[in-house]
Structure 1
């Protein structure tokens, strides 16, 4: 029996590589494996005629997965995950159905794979998983265990979809915050450039001013009065500090394997956050709000403090990083599931 879908291109052809996205390659590869296993299983099973409808169902799911993998999808489907979730949902459904046609002799060999998938997404005390592991320990998986294996797979794939959905929603939330914060800091920079006195970045030199040795204030651009370049320069130095913090975090971060990546959006958030902390930090220092701090006495001191505050955005964004890490751990197949699901 052939499971080739009634469409002009096979999923292994360059059609799936026409648009970017490594998930398309993974879907293509997994679909070809399922198709080959199904055709082989139907050839070996004596009751292949009775399983014809199952084989047709598998072929339908693979054709749908291929359609998602070969298509070009806009920003709306990227945000909602319509394409990638549609493709993997059909691949997973085909996988579950595959276990209904595999020869009985292969069930013991496939059992550990099903158990591993279950442990990745189901709690350790899940009754289906516990029962399957008991059957595996006995080394006696039989025909009557097919529904159990399919049940574990179905539950694991459902839990996986929920966890990856949380990662996707968090990514979209972060992206929204990046855009909003970027617009806010852009507005601050425009206001500072048009009305320099509205957002004063200049140090007051209150200590040495009393001795009459230097002017009353010094500004980030080196002038003695606020100028249109003060706030943009502080913003640039703040972004430099944020970039250094990002480089430091990248060197210690290990990206887990999931359908969605949060690293890019996490790093994008640090740039406008660095601008915000640099501008706000200098305003606080120059306001006299900090006890014992008498002012910024030189242009280098102002710029160094701006960089330090830009780097210090890590204090705020680390909470975002911690939340992202917890979601990625829950969604990754490489980490075991816990009894308490991530919310």
Structure 2
């Protein structure tokens, strides 16, 4: 009974019931799901084509494994997560793409030798993007790529291609894991700083005098008998000379300063948008880096005004008006960029390390693929000083 209930509630069962009822499947809820389903449909077609070929014990096991990975990928793509959707998107993405990549590795073991040779350039490109220059599998594949692309496969070449592709996908997963880890750190830091900012505002609301941000800039019009007191939310003129500035602190002072700092931080976020580049990674790391600036700006505004209040900055201990207090709060809120720009640089560096291509424009691995591709068009290779280069063979001359 429990099994039938689970089957009725599975994504496959829901999709099947909608199709049987003549209803169209729901459109993907996000762009990455649309891309994943497109790739899933392609691999399902390849699976059906391989199932039509003569079976063997090994092929049956590979086909079952590929079908299992595709089913898991579809289930992850169709999962709604309910109220957990906000923080479960990363789990769904990793579940979908890891299963699709595993299915692709199994597909490479199923295709014919001609198709495997045709995919050799694709595998070499992935290996170059995700494996180091000294990786043994990359070195071995670079040694064999010329023969593989030309169709001269030996029994071990298929396994070499499969292992190299699997290692490249594992390295890609590790690169994305680093992006996800930094994204989680940034969101956690944002939440912690936001809690601190909110805690300061609540504390200032109930105990405004203990964290006073009020100033007594100068004597009032009564000479030595009156003073002016300036607070972030109010101004007091002509008070008795013995009035302590903290006695006029308001419960909204800290909150007002934090709002001004938030506005200053928003300005720096807008200004920094010109440095943000689009990314194909699924974790929106630039967004997490930008959101961190807002609570950090509010916190830096409070600390900056507090430092002025304590005469830490020479010449800025006597602010004359509420407008000056808020202006300096906005300036300190924008000044958080001096610190958070280091976070921006780290985020961009982490993104640039995902699939970073080989630094050199032309290298022996590219030359090997190009040579094997154009050799039949009247070109040959020559070796010189440890480098390989393609040279055109004169028409009518015998091959050397």
Q: Report what 1:264 is aligned to.
A: 287
Matches within 5 A, 1:1-343: 7-8=12-13, 9=15, 17=27, 20-41=29-50, 43=52, 47-49=54-56, 51-73=59-81, 75=84, 78=87, 81-138=90-147, 139-141=149-151, 142=153, 144=155, 145-205=157-217, 215-224=227-236, 225-330=248-353, 332-333=354-355, 335-336=356-357
Question: TM-score, with normalisation over the residues of structure 2?
Answer: 0.73
Unaligned 5+ residue runs, structure 1? 1-5, 339-343
Question: Structure 2 CA distance, aligned partners of 1:209 and 1:58?
Answer: 87
Contact 1:205 1:295 in 2 (8 A): yes
Comparing 20-29 and 274-283, the one that deviates more: 20-29
**Aligned in 2, Cα 1:151/1:194: closer, same or farther, shift over 3 Å?**
same
Pair 103,211 (structure 1): closer, same or farther in 2 beyond 3 Å: farther
Paired residues of 2:213 and 2:253 also in contact (CA < 8 A):
yes
Instruction: Give the superposition deviation at 1:26.
Output: 2.2
Higher relative contact order (CA 8 A, sep 6+): 1
Instruction: Check the 8 A contact 1:193/1:228 in 2, yes or no.
Output: yes
Secondary structure of 2:318's counterpart equals coil
Structure with the larger strand share: 2
Q: Is this contact kept in 1: 2:219–2:228, CA < 8 A?
A: no
Task: Name which of structure 1's ranges 258-267 and 277-286 shifts more when overlaid on structure 2.
Answer: 258-267
CA contact (8 A) 1:206 1:294 kept: no
| TM-score, normalised by the number of residues in structure 1 | 0.84
In the alignment, structure 2 segments of 5+ residues that lack a partner are 1-10, 237-247, 360-400
Bigger radius of gyration among the two: 2
Q: How far does the alpha carbon of each residue in 1:50-90 deviate from its partner, in whole angstroms, 9 at most, with x for none? A: 52332222111101111111112263994694332222221
Cα 1:337–1:82 shift into 2, 3 Å:
farther
Aligned-residue RMSD, C-alpha: 3.0
Task: Name the stretch that deviates more: 309-318 or 219-228.
Answer: 219-228
Q: Show structure 1 runs of 4+ deviating over 6 A.
A: 207-214
